[in-house]
Structures are given as structure tokens and as C-alpha cells.
Amino acid sequence: MKTQTSLILASSSPRRRELLHTLGLTFTVQTSDVDETTAPGMSPKEVVEELAVRKAQTVASTCKEGVVLGSDTIVVLDNQILGKPVNEADAFHMLSMLQGREHTVYSGVALIDAATGRAEVAHSHTQVRIRSLSESEIKAYIATREPMDKAGSYAIQGIGATIVEGITGDYFTVVGLPLCLTAKMLSRFGITVL
């Protein structure tokens, strides 16, 4: 019987854990507290790939074996990266900018084989349209506290689903881990879903 390569998720995100569980994969979690600042002028795809690799490398450097999965997600509007809000006023500002408009969500995925150092990185992007919102709707959404730890100040898989008018692309990219891309990459590292 072939033994499955061990998988290590380099993320504290409960959403990424849930998504990997959805695939029926067994894995351990080892958080990677990395500096998420990037060089000015990097494209969104370069940013998410760089941060996904940085997270995976940080954890892989502490492991003797296993495949480490790092991931990062950003929201981009008018070439501006919208990170996690620093406070409620920041969340209000972001949601005010996003409402009634379309933006792009990028998720990067990096895999590193801790034993060999072999690495692979890719990304996925999805267009998201947020419906027009009143000031009171934005404040009510912020009052749920859901936006406070989310890039762009919303969660498509939570109450935020009520403000998303539509998407073009992969839903799971917006949640934070593009499952189709991740499964394809994992299969090249000996971890198969199907």
C-alpha cells in the first residue's frame, strides 16, 4: 500500500483549513508569521505568489519532510491592493469604495517539498461585483465583525454573500484557496484528491 505524502498547511486561516477538509485531505497546521510587506511596483499576481512562497518557505525550513502549502489572498480595486482593515473606519472606507463596482481577487498557492526543496507556485484570480450599498447597510455589515479580518473587508462565504452581486471565475479563489488549482498542484507532489 502506497503511503500518502504528509501535507502541512502554513496558515492560521480557518477558511483554508475548512477548504482542505472539503477535499478529504489529512494535514497538519503550522502557522507562519511572516512579514507581508512587498516591494513597491509588484503586480497583484507577483504579490500573492511572493507571499504564498514566503509562508511556505518559513514553515518548510522547520520541517524534515512533508509538502508545505502556503497561500495568500488579496483584493485589488483600481490597481490598489486592499488588505485587511485596521479598524472599523478603514473597513467602512474599503466597502464604500467596493460597493457598486467590480474588483479582482487574487489567491496565490505555493507548495514546497521540505525534504527536497522542490517548489511550485501559481495563482488564480476572480472578478467580483459588490452591489450598491447604503451607508447604513455598510455599517450594519461592519457591526457583524465579519469584515474585520478579511482582505477587502468582506467574506463571500459568510454574511458578505448578501452583498456580492456576482462573480466571474473561481469562487474558492475569493474564499482564499483555489481548490481546482491546489488539487492539480498537489497531485504533482504525490498528494491526490481523485
- Any idea which residues carry the catalytic annotation? 72
d(C-alpha 102, C-alpha 67), whole Å:
35
In residues, how long is the chain?
194
Name the CA radius of gyration of the chain, rounded: 17
